[in-house]
Amino acid sequence: MAPSSDIDYMRRALELARGAAARGEVPVGAVLVRDGEILAEGANQPITTHDPTAHAEIVTLRAAGSVLADYRLAGATLYVTLEPCAMCAAALVHARVARVVFGAWDPKAGAAGSITDVFAIPQLNHRVDVFGGVLADECGTLLSDFFRARRL
């Protein structure tokens, strides 16, 4: 069955996050959807690519831009397992993504309300509808378990 709800798409993002964890990356996954079709997927890969900008959101935006031959992703929804950071939030605004749905809140670097809210800056020329907390416990547990294991 094809994904059709916020929870279904977040579950796919969680699968991608688990794959990132298996590669030693911080477990964050993202899925970009428009009109019920998955345009692109990605997961964190800054360690393996030696690229500090290779967050799951950026990887996914780049893939979608390549597939569509367009950097503007109007009408798309990004599902991501962790609240976007300032870099990712700004990229989502620039890409004209319509909606962001995230799982766990990020009290240390979250830019959708935790430490700041990039999406609410009135001077920016695009508004993104943001909704957090979808499968938050599952997304948060994946991150907590990953970091706990690294501290052992």
pTM of the model: 0.96
d(CA 21, CA 135): 18
- Nearest Cα to 45, choosing from 66, 33, 60? 60
Q: What is the average pLDDT across 69-95? A: 98
Return the pLDDT at 3.
59
Q: What is the mean pLDDT of the chain?
A: 96
* Catalytic residue selected from 25, 41, 57, 83: 57
Q: Judge whether residue 1 has pLDDT over 50.
A: no
Q: Has 57 been annotated as catalytic? A: yes
The two three-digit tokens of residue 126, written as one number: 């695009």
pLDDT tens readout for residues 18-52 = 999 999 999 999 999 999 999 999 999 999 999 99
Q: What is the average pLDDT across 76-102? A: 98
Helix or strand or coil: residue 39? strand
Residue 150 — very low, low, confident or very high, per pLDDT cuts 50/70/90?
confident
Question: pLDDT exceeding 70 applies to what percent of the chain?
Answer: 98
Output Rg (C-alpha) for the chain, integer angstroms.
14
Residue 4 — very low, low, confident or very high, per pLDDT cuts 50/70/90?
confident
Which helix (H) or strand (E) element contains residue 81? strand 77-82
Q: How do the residues of the chain divide into helix, strand and coil, expressed in percent and rounded to 5?
A: 40, 20, 40
